[in-house]
């Protein structure tokens, strides 16, 4: 390689580096400005919905983050049955209380009255968590189904969440979140399914899917 060619490549490299620095600096300034504007201190409501996999996983990830920082969290599981739950096995050992509906999927029970009674019983426990300021975070896993199926009184659920302690955060998961939940949430994430192993005949994996 000639001396001129080496010089040209060095100059191009320096110009790319300078361009990258200018672009990064502009991005940093934008991010810093947004961070500076976020001055409100309060608990948030997060809704994770959609037809893709990972909604409950996201909720439990937030619970783990909360507990990892030394805060208290509580978990309410609607729909879920009595089968093993790796997250529950782990988190109960770290002092996280669980209230579990325990009936499984409604299409398995085929008992609407029984499902409603079970939902109302677990909602009674949820209301205790949502009224207790010691809990930094409450996960309401699969709550969306309870509202979509009219198993719980919508107005009571919305009012209880809205009137929780000011610094308490709530994560609601499940498909088909109703408009009222989305509207009152601070953050809404829609999980979209592109592919799913189950549809290819692959069994759910312990330690991965449950």
Please report, for the chain, the start and end positions of each structural domain, with discontinuous segments joined by +: 1-39, 45-200
Task: Tell which residue, 72, 78, 66, has the closest CA to residue 147.
Answer: 78
CA distance 16 to 33: 26
- Does the annotation count 56 as an active-site position? yes
Once rounded to an integer, what is the mean pLDDT over residues 92-101?
Answer: 94
Is domain 45-200 classified as CATH 3.40.470.10? no
pLDDT at 18 over 70: yes
- pTM equals 0.82
- Does the annotation count 57 as an active-site position? yes
Out of 34, 39, 83, 107, pick the active-site residue: 107
Once rounded to an integer, what is the mean pLDDT over residues 10-29?
Answer: 74
- Does the annotation count 53 as an active-site position? yes
- Class of residue 37 by CB neighbours under 10 A (exposed 0-12, middle 13-18, buried 19+): exposed
pLDDT at 181: 97
Residues 21-67 pLDDT 10s:
777 777 776 766 666 666 778 999 999 999 999 999 999 999 999 99
Once rounded to an integer, what is the mean pLDDT over residues 5-15?
Answer: 69
The structure tokens listed for 190 are 């829609």
- Does the annotation count 55 as an active-site position? yes
Out of 49, 56, 62, 173, pick the active-site residue: 56
Once rounded to an integer, what is the mean pLDDT over residues 68-87?
Answer: 87
- Does the annotation count 65 as an active-site position? yes
Q: Work out the number of other CB atoms within 10 angstroms of the CB of residue 106.
A: 19
Tracing tokens 């529950």 back to the chain, one arrives at 88
Out of 80, 123, 142, 144, pick the active-site residue: 142
Out of 28, 42, 65, 182, pick the active-site residue: 65
């Amino acid at each position: 390689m000639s001396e001129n060619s080496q010089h040209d490549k060095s100059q191009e490299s320096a110009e790319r580096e300078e361009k990258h620095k200018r672009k990064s600096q502009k991005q940093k300034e934008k991010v810093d400005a947004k961070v500076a504007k976020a001055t409100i201190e309060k608990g948030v409501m997060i809704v994770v919905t959609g037809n893709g996999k990972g909604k409950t996983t996201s909720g439990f990830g937030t619970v783990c983050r909360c507990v990892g920082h030394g805060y208290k969290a509580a978990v309410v599981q609607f729909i879920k049955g009595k089968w093993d739950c790796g997250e529950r096995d782990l988190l109960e050992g770290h002092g996280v209380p669980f209230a579990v509906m325990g009936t499984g999927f409604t299409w398995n029970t085929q008992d609407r009255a029984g499902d409603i009674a079970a939902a109302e019983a677990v909602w009674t426990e949820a209301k205790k968590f949502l009224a207790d300021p010691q809990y930094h975070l409450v996960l309401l896993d699969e709550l969306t189904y309870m509202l979509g199926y009219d198993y719980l009184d919508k107005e009571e659920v919305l009012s209880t969440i809205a009137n929780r302690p000011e610094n308490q955060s709530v994560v609601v998961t499940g498909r088909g979140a109703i408009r009222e939940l989305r509207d009152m949430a601070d953050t809404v994430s829609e999980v979209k399914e592109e592919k799913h192993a189950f549809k290819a005949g692959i069994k759910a994996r312990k330690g991965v899917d449950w």
